[in-house]
Structure 1
């Protein structure tokens, strides 16, 4: 069980769990015959997390995970001081190839000397780009952030979600930020909450519009080929995946991002 050590940590953990529940309910509204299955896990340094996974007719596989962990030293960093990290991370892999994969993560990390926020969301059509969907997705992100931060964070996403060996972006972009700390905690917290709370509006209208689109066996084969690129990015380049493994996180939770099928 995670023991929060400050009012700040308690507020953030409460928000994240409420956000997780809101997203789970939103996804379940598209999958009335199925419900997310939840599984708790413990972290060796303190705390742990909860995996939430659904497999159905609309979501071939989707995971919405929360974690809150402690450790003696922050992984992938030089400083040797205790840390607290908590966040919600999700991924969808859709049965219908015309429904794009979406990824979202919002996280907060704190050490004895500093704190920062990170996160964002991005859209990855699996071979079937739709300009209307892309425009909607980006507009929601822009509305949540304002012009200046949206421009910065969307450029971050274009650079971060780049598959070097294929020389292309993973999808059609989104927003991404890390180590965000302006020195004004309350202002940064509200920005971060705004990103998390805008997520469902960015994707549910797209899913509702595309879930009954007819598709062929060939369309499904194309989707699986693009899913392979998604796997490659997450295992080779994604910092969150590396952080999870190095910090002793739950491998099942970390690998929830993997699609149920992919082809090479």
Structure 2
């Protein structure tokens, strides 16, 4: 079995590369680097708020271990709940200022649980990346999905479609009967190949983070917008909050495991508005967005 230190080193390198790339857009605003330790483990939270182009950007690394794996981390393997475990990963959420730049979420993670009776180790990877636009620009969404597909292609000709379908199913708000965004990739309990091959796929997903999202920032961050665009952005961000608090397994795992609240809730947008009646779309880009989140599209 691979050494977990190699996985941890890669996660730290990925975190730094994403922070460095985002920092190029904010020469007058620096990321806060918050190194923390707790009874569960340690981590580095890199957060920028109130920037010229990022209302909030967080890129977090954490390593935790405890005597009992929470149920939220073992839904597909309930027999592992309660076993001693280690978990590590990188999670990022970017909420841009400009409503034409989508919100972006990605994470990659690794779990290993050990049976104290037999010494048997159970490991798996998880993660993915997904896009939440507020004005639907089809060319941008298509480019995002092609980068996701390119990451999957060397490993299996059908992997992209499988993980895209997983993403569409996972990022769904049943009480709203809509999806959080326009999808991407999602995988969990991922150990279908030897560990080295699974890790290579996780690294390909890490590269896709650069290829799929960062060009959209450069392309759209200076587009003109007005108050109606900001109002619709804040309305749609309320749905982002609803999903993260009600359904996101990472948030639930963090809370169940007694994790660090500031890092867990880093994903929240700084501004979100709730309306008793949905704010109606005012242009074709907003109408197209509503259609796309109600019925997944084969991008």
Distance 1:7 1:187, change over 3 A: closer
**Alpha-carbon separation, structure 1, partners of 2:207 and 2:42:** 23
Partner of 1:142: 149
Partner of 1:215: 225
**Alpha-carbon separation, structure 1, partners of 2:133 and 2:271:** 16
Structure 2 gaps of 5+ residues are: 115-120, 275-299
Aligned-pair CA distance for 1:7: 6.0
Partner of 2:14: 19
Is the 8 Å Cα contact of residues 2 and 196 (structure 2) preserved in structure 1?
no
Count of residues in correspondence between the two structures: 257
RMSD value over aligned CA atoms?
Answer: 1.2
Aligned-pair CA distance for 1:27: 0.4
Partner of 1:88: 90
1:121 aligns with 2:123: no
Partner of 2:297: none
Aligned-pair CA distance for 1:34: 1.4
Deviation readout 1:82-105 (Å, 9 max, x if unpaired) = 100000000011111111000000
**Alpha-carbon separation, structure 2, partners of 1:33 and 1:157:** 35
Question: 1:1-264 residue pairs with structure 2 within 5 A?
Answer: 8-45=3-40, 47-55=41-49, 56-76=51-71, 77=74, 78=78, 79=80, 80-112=82-114, 113-126=121-134, 128-146=135-153, 147-264=157-274
**Alpha-carbon separation, structure 2, partners of 1:183 and 1:145:** 14
- Paired residue secondary structure (1:142): helix
Deviation readout 1:53-100 (Å, 9 max, x if unpaired) = 012010011100000010101111443221000000000111111110
**Alpha-carbon separation, structure 2, partners of 1:184 and 1:242:** 29
Aligned-pair CA distance for 1:139: 0.4
**Alpha-carbon separation, structure 1, partners of 2:108 and 2:20:** 18
**Alpha-carbon separation, structure 2, partners of 1:140 and 1:261:** 29
Bigger CA radius of gyration: 2
Is the 8 Å Cα contact of residues 2 and 195 (structure 2) preserved in structure 1?
no
Is the 8 Å Cα contact of residues 70 and 257 (structure 2) preserved in structure 1?
yes
Aligned-pair CA distance for 1:243: 0.3
Is the 8 Å Cα contact of residues 43 and 248 (structure 1) preserved in structure 2?
no
- Paired residue secondary structure (1:30): coil
**Alpha-carbon separation, structure 1, partners of 2:176 and 2:136:** 18
**Alpha-carbon separation, structure 1, partners of 2:214 and 2:195:** 30
**Alpha-carbon separation, structure 2, partners of 1:66 and 1:38:** 11
Aligned-pair CA distance for 1:43: 2.9
Is the 8 Å Cα contact of residues 59 and 95 (structure 1) preserved in structure 2?
yes
Structure 1 gaps of 5+ residues are: 1-5
Deviation readout 1:17-57 (Å, 9 max, x if unpaired) = 00000000110111121121011222313x22111101201
**Alpha-carbon separation, structure 2, partners of 1:163 and 1:208:** 30
Aligned-pair CA distance for 1:183: 4.3
Is the 8 Å Cα contact of residues 35 and 45 (structure 2) preserved in structure 1?
yes
**TM-score normalized by structure 1?**
0.95
- Paired residue secondary structure (1:16): helix
